[in-house]
Amino acid sequence: MLVAFSVAPLGAGESVTAAVADAVRIVRESGLPNRTDAMFTTLEGEWDEVMDVVKRATEAVGRHGHRVSLVLKADIRPGHVGELTGKVDRVEAALTNG
């Protein structure tokens, strides 16, 4: 499965960089394939392992305040791996081939 999520503390002021860095650190240390962009972090793996990482990342952000906002989107497609890059590769190929 792929899970794209965004997590941030509420009421922590304008900059949430330190809190987000704590979350991304947990994702990267998980060993699961992942990618972070300006809006979301996406990771790939089995349900239990992905959700464990999301939970731990959310808890890390929670240490920066009393309330946390979590946005999560999942693509659950059993039997498929490598979709973190595969989906993008297919779109790029379609753009190249017209």
pLDDT, position 24: 97
CA nearest neighbour of 39 among 13, 9, 69, 5: 5
Query: Is the confidence at residue 15, as pLDDT, over 90?
Result: no
Does the pLDDT of residue 11 top 90, yes or no?
no
The more confident residue out of 14 and 28 is 28
- Mean pLDDT of all residues in 19-40: 97
Q: Residue 5 contacts by C-beta under 8 Å, 6 or more apart in sequence?
A: 40, 41, 42, 54, 57, 70, 71, 72, 73
- At 12, is the pLDDT very low, low, confident or very high (cuts 50, 70, 90)? low
- pLDDT given for residue 71 in this prediction: 98
96 pLDDT band (50/70/90 cuts)? very high
For 33-89, the pLDDT digits (tens) are 999 999 999 999 999 999 999 999 999 999 998 899 999 999 999 999 999 999 999
What pTM does this model have? 0.90
Domain extent listing, the chain: 2-97
* Domain 2-97 architecture: 2-Layer Sandwich (3.30)
